[in-house]
Amino acid sequence: MNPSPALNEAKAEEAIHFLNELLQLLPGGVNSPVRALSGLERRPLLIESASQDRVTDLSGRSYIDLCCSWGALILGHANPRVLEALASQLPKGTSYGITSRLEGEIARQVVALMPSIELVRFVSSGSEATMSAARLARGFTGREVIVKFNGNYHGHADLFLVQAGSGLETFGLSSSAGVPQGTVEKTLSLPYNDLGAIRRLFADPNLSHTIAAVIVEPVSGNMGVVPPEPGFLELLRSETERTGALLIFDEVITGFRVSKGGAQELYGIKPDLSCIGKIVAGGLPAAAFGGRREIMSYLAPLGPVYQAGTLSGNPLAMCAGLATLQAIQEEGFYAELERKCHLLLDPVEEAIFNSPLPIALQRVGSMFTLFFGRQSVRNLSEARECDPVLFKRFFGSLLDRGIYLPPSPFESSFISSAHSDNHLTEASEAICAAIHSLG
Ligand SMILES: Cc1ncc(COP(=O)(O)O)c(C=O)c1O
């Protein structure tokens, strides 16, 4: 329930004061850059609370949330099962720094849901998972080159912060100040969905035998939703296998999102290593990486590759994750999510059809993106051709109508099981109206 207008005004004033103070305390007023809403000519949201499919800001205004903590909250905010699990764990302690029963219970679920994972290591963030998986791949293969794809994001570890490239000549150019050239000189970033570039890379015997791993978002979520073209993941699998490199699926977003067993189940490809995050921790700070026993056994304490963490396997994160993984395995969970997606997006497809503007709606399961200015997007270059001004207007128009989208054209929106039909209909109407007003 929104407070009265007078109360709202006072709270809005207070929120602005608080934001000004935050700007003096946190760089850009935020703890992660995209939250600053840079370039969108809006103030960053300051959230007071959240429940089910809504977030409420300090001024008392509620928004239907289509960001869902960047995909972590597949059950929505403050899910009762997750809260109950947390409440029963809290009096038992918040961190042990010693292995707990919960770590075994959640590991059992993960290996059952993703059979390519035989051994799993829990960490505290997706960045930590991908960074550790890359180190493990290098340690296991004795090779150093890591291949990634333009527009895929694997967290902020130095070795992944390279500029988008078109081929071998673009090896290892760092994309962030503070990343030493030496750290990225063994990282190569290629165009997503470009089968020719992959064939050329692996056809070079001098180079192909230096590749420790290819890491890929099997459905890209970080240039907006870009699905893999037929043959892309298959080629990565066959070429890495042929040349002795490892294939790492970064399923930090797609794991338990695009299907119960992630993108690897959806597309029927078995990676050597997988990184999972977000959903696996039910909205708490944890993630994991895992894969073939032979590879994972290279990890300390079994093997020579070092990796560790004070809060790894944190009991609160483990029990929130466990409650979430149990919920997604209930009969009909994904079918119901799919129904909700149709409720939200079928009318949007029609609005796009009737719009004079080229707009692409790309969706895999309950993750989707609207691209303004193109009929389809297959890679980062095409995503960058989209019109940022149209996105800014679209985002602002939805915000004004009480709908919160991820605040960047290069992100995925998410639907949770907590989105009510009423709110999805409301959001759908708002999206259609916004599309109409752009045209
Ligand atoms: C595919 C992918 N990998 C890794 C990460 C990094 O995860 P974290 O933000 O938890 O470090 C993200 C974050 O959004 C991601 O989308």
Flag whether pLDDT at 170 surpasses 80.
no
Q: Are residues 229 and 89 in the same domain?
A: yes
pLDDT band at 5 (very low <50, low <70, confident <90, very high): low
CA of 100 to the centre of ligand 1 (A): 26
Q: Whose CA is nearest to atom 8 of ligand 1?
A: 126
Q: Are residues 175 and 312 in the same domain?
A: yes
What is d(CA 86, CA 126) in angstroms, rounded to the nearest whole number? 21
Flag whether pLDDT at 7 surpasses 90.
no
Q: Are residues 60 and 99 in the same domain?
A: no
192 carries an active-site annotation: no
Q: Are residues 151 and 11 in the same domain?
A: no
- The more confidently predicted of residues 438 and 2 is 438
Flag whether pLDDT at 128 surpasses 90.
yes
What is d(CA 154, CA 30) in angstroms, rounded to the nearest whole number? 20
Regarding the beta carbon of 172 and ligand 1, being less than 6 Å apart is answered no
Q: Are residues 309 and 346 in the same domain?
A: no
Regarding the beta carbon of 406 and ligand 1, being less than 6 Å apart is answered no
What is d(CA 80, CA 323) in angstroms, rounded to the nearest whole number? 10
Q: Are residues 193 and 243 in the same domain?
A: yes
List Cβ neighbours of 208 (8 Å cut-off, separation of 6 or more): 201, 202, 239, 243, 245
Residue with tokens 């673009």: 170
Catalytic site residue from 63, 153, 192, 267:
153
Mean pLDDT across 28-45 = 94
Secondary structure string (H, E, C) spanning the chain:
CCCCHHHHHHHHHHHHHHHHHHHHHCHHHCCCHHHHCCCCCCCCCCEEEEEECEEEECCCCEEEECCCHHHCCCCCECCHHHHHHHHHHHHHCCCCCCCCHHHHHHHHHHHHHCCCCCEEEEECCHHHHHHHHHHHHHHHHCCCEEEEECCCCCCCCHHHCECCCCCHHHCCCECCCCCCHHHHCCEEEECCCCHHHHHHHHHCHHHHCCEEEEEECCCECECECECCCCCHHHHHHHHHHHHCCEEEEEECCCCCCCCCCHHHHHHCCCCCEEEECHHHHCCCCCEEEEECHHHHCCECCCCCECCCCCCCCCHHHHHHHHHHHHHHCCCCHHHHHHHHHHHHHHHHHHHHHHCCCCEEEEEECCEEEEEECCCCCCCHHHHHCCCHHHHHHHHHHHHHCCEECCCCCCCCEECCCCCCHHHHHHHHHHHHHHHHHHC
Among the three residues 299, 328, 357, which one is the final residue of a domain in this structure? Answer: 328
Closest CA to 274 of 393, 116, 432, 433: 116
Q: Please compute, for residue 431, the number of CA atoms within 13 A of its CA located in the half-sphere on the CB side.
A: 27
Regarding the beta carbon of 126 and ligand 1, being less than 6 Å apart is answered yes
Among the three residues 278, 303, 328, which one is the final residue of a domain in this structure? Answer: 328
Closest CA to 204 of 175, 176, 167: 167
Q: Are residues 412 and 373 in the same domain?
A: yes
User: For residue 6, what pLDDT is reported?
Assistant: 62
User: For residue 4, what pLDDT is reported?
Assistant: 57
11 carries an active-site annotation: no
What is d(CA 185, CA 97) in angstroms, rounded to the nearest whole number? 36
Question: Can you say whether residue 151 is alpha, beta or left, with left for phi > 0 and alpha for psi between -120 and 50 degrees?
Answer: left
What is d(CA 266, CA 260) in angstroms, rounded to the nearest whole number? 9
- Parallel, antiparallel or unpaired: strands 273-276 and 367-372: unpaired
Q: Are residues 259 and 356 in the same domain?
A: no
Regarding the beta carbon of 153 and ligand 1, being less than 6 Å apart is answered yes
The sign of the torsion formed by the CA atoms of 431, 222, 74, 79 equals negative
What is d(CA 235, CA 148) in angstroms, rounded to the nearest whole number? 14
What is d(CA 43, CA 357) in angstroms, rounded to the nearest whole number? 28
- Parallel, antiparallel or unpaired: strands 211-216 and 145-149: parallel
Residues in the chain: 439
Give me the number of domains the chain comprises. 2
* Residue 426 belongs to domain with CATH number: 3.90.1150.10
User: For residue 168, what pLDDT is reported?
Assistant: 73
CA of 279 to the centre of ligand 1 (A): 11
Flag whether pLDDT at 12 surpasses 80.
yes
| Dihedral pair phi/psi, residue 216, rounded to 5° | -145, 145
Q: Are residues 361 and 220 in the same domain?
A: no
Q: Are residues 309 and 417 in the same domain?
A: no
Sheet containing strand 54-57, strands side by side: 47-51, 54-57, 62-65, 403-404
340 carries an active-site annotation: no
Over residues 73-87, the pLDDT tens digits come to: 999 999 999 999 999
Full residue range of the structural domain in which residue 52 is found: 5-78+332-438
Average pLDDT, the chain: 96
Locate 360 and state its tokens: 């692409």
Q: Are residues 202 and 321 in the same domain?
A: yes
Rounded to two decimals, what is the model's pTM? 0.97
- Rg of the Cα atoms in the chain: 22
Q: Which of 73, 132, 154 to mutate to test the pocket of ligand 1 (most atoms within 8 A of CB)?
A: 154
Among the three residues 328, 343, 362, which one is the final residue of a domain in this structure? Answer: 328
* Residue 295 belongs to domain with CATH number: 3.40.640.10
Over residues 335-386, the pLDDT tens digits come to: 999 999 999 999 999 999 999 999 999 999 999 999 999 999 999 999 999 9
Biggest CA–CA distance in the chain, Å, is 71
User: For residue 401, what pLDDT is reported?
Assistant: 97
User: For residue 1, what pLDDT is reported?
Assistant: 47
Regarding the beta carbon of 133 and ligand 1, being less than 6 Å apart is answered no
User: For residue 62, what pLDDT is reported?
Assistant: 97
Flag whether pLDDT at 405 surpasses 60.
yes
pLDDT band at 313 (very low <50, low <70, confident <90, very high): very high
Q: Are residues 187 and 222 in the same domain?
A: yes
Mean pLDDT across 159-168 = 88
Q: Which of 127, 148, 159 to mutate to test the pocket of ligand 1 (most atoms within 8 A of CB)?
A: 127
Mean pLDDT across 409-426 = 98
